[in-house]
Amino acid sequence: MRKFESLHNQMVIGGVTAKELAERFGTPLYVTDEIAVRENFKRIQQAFSCHMPANIHYACKANSNLAILRILEREGSCIDAVSIWEVESCLMAGFKPNKILFTGVSVSDEEMKALVGRGVTINIDSPSQLIRLSKIGTDIPISVRVNPDVGAGHHEHVVTGSKMAKFGIPKGEVVRIYSEALGLGLRPVGLHAHIGAGVQDVAPFVQVTEVLVSIARELETSLGLVLEFLDIGGGIGIPYRPEDKEMDVGLLAREVTSLIKSGCSARSVAVEPGRYIVADTTVLLTKVVDVKETPDRRFVGVDAGFNTLIRPSFYGSYHHVAVANKFGMPGEITYDVVGPICESGDFLARDRMLPRVAEGDIVAVYDAGAYGFTMSSQYNSRPRCAEVLVKDGNASIIRDRESLDDILRHQRMPSRLMV
């Protein structure tokens, strides 16, 4: 969990106080520290590349804002994209097609045609997808997503590598799929697996790497196929709670690269971090609009709900919270921090010891950079919030706050209802 500077009991983000940001740009508001994004990327890039050639494919589903993408493109990142629209956004941000790996599930022919037209490498998720892709073209660079029967993650909804998951091709069928791909005139370049999200332990990554290395070795001996890369996927967790420990990415890199170098001839390793790069770079600022006490609970009502940050409600996820304009002051009262959505499940935090909260205070929700805005919605007809990028005391708007016009823009009234 990232530590923030305190200046006269005011939380400081990227050289700007949270209070100033909230007053200038309004709330709710996502605030991202540009330097933190760059630091996180460099840390994981250096951890792997010091052992063997490595490509860090940022999983842009975590945060697809064009400014964030541009920062990472300039740092030398590659991309993990899961839709043609993510691909288009990354191209717009300056990424070259050969830097993008598309890993979709239930991919339509129309989407594949668009992907082929863009020249990106396509990760094959099913035998059907392989056949349908071969009918679109040949000499298309592909990898295959194996279901490794190694699953891990912070919630059952994000475990992707177990045999019960919808993702990938069972490991026992992968060699046959590569043989078929070669016969169809496609160009296999890699092998991919992804175990889940929010993983804090090195062991599952070691297990999945062992599966990938074993398959790569079999491809070499049976088909004479030497792959350009093995992709261990993403899912590297972060410490959301103050007592959580950080993932040892140095140990992770050493273990994974050692297995690859000693076990097969793959030329490079690929890793797909999303959360690890952006989660702790961003806080969600939200204003206290109501303080309520009942015989059983004390509630801090804020202007951000699960329409703004759905992770606590959807996954039961913990996000640390602080009162940004009383930063560092000791906790006095236990509160639930709840939003304005008409649902009992609309909460950001429960049972948190905070300084005495008053209406008008600013609450900061930590680690909101991954799956924050990208999973937000217009539920209850509430416009989505703004995003701001800060660096060295300067703040720039990187997404305008929506209006009611934005919500209604694509709605149409049939003429028969106009009478």
Do 240 and 246 form a contact (C-beta atoms < 8 A)? Answer: no
Q: Residue 310 to residues 19, 58, 279, 306, 317: CA-CA distances in angstroms?
A: 24, 22, 14, 4, 9
99 and 248 in a single domain? The answer is: yes
Of the candidates 170, 171, 212, which has an alpha carbon nearest to the alpha carbon of residue 190? 212
Q: What is the pLDDT of residues 305-364, one digit of tens each?
A: 999 999 999 989 999 999 999 999 999 999 999 999 999 999 999 999 999 999 999 999
92 and 190 in a single domain? The answer is: yes
CATH number at residue 159: 3.20.20.10
- Average pLDDT for consecutive 10-residue bins of the chain (419 residues)? 93 98 98 98 98 98 98 98 98 98 96 98 96 97 89 47 71 94 97 84 91 96 97 94 92 97 97 97 98 96 98 94 96 97 96 98 98 97 98 98 97 94
pLDDT reported for residue 155 = 44
129 and 253 in a single domain? The answer is: yes
Determine, yes or no, domain membership for 156: yes
267 and 300 in a single domain? The answer is: no
288 and 181 in a single domain? The answer is: no
Determine, yes or no, domain membership for 330: yes
* Distance, CA of 392 to chain centre: 25
Question: How many domains, the chain?
Answer: 2
Residue ending a domain, among 273, 296, 325, is: 273
Query: Residue 318 is part of which domain span?
Result: 5-32+280-408
Using N-to-C axis directions, what is the helix angle for 66-75 and 84-92, rounded to 10°? Answer: 70
Determine, yes or no, domain membership for 48: no
Determine, yes or no, domain membership for 290: yes
Report d(CA 42, CA 56) in Å as an integer. 10
Q: Which residues are annotated as catalytic?
A: 342
161 and 208 in a single domain? The answer is: yes
79 and 180 in a single domain? The answer is: yes
pLDDT reported for residue 166 = 78
Determine, yes or no, domain membership for 256: yes
Residue ending a domain, among 230, 246, 273, is: 273
256 and 284 in a single domain? The answer is: no
pLDDT reported for residue 148 = 86
Residue ending a domain, among 248, 273, 298, is: 273
387 and 360 in a single domain? The answer is: yes
Determine, yes or no, domain membership for 45: no
9 and 125 in a single domain? The answer is: no
138 and 268 in a single domain? The answer is: yes
Six token digits for residue 165:
């998951």
Determine, yes or no, domain membership for 101: yes
pLDDT reported for residue 199 = 81
136 and 284 in a single domain? The answer is: no
Determine, yes or no, domain membership for 47: no
CATH number at residue 340: 2.40.37.10
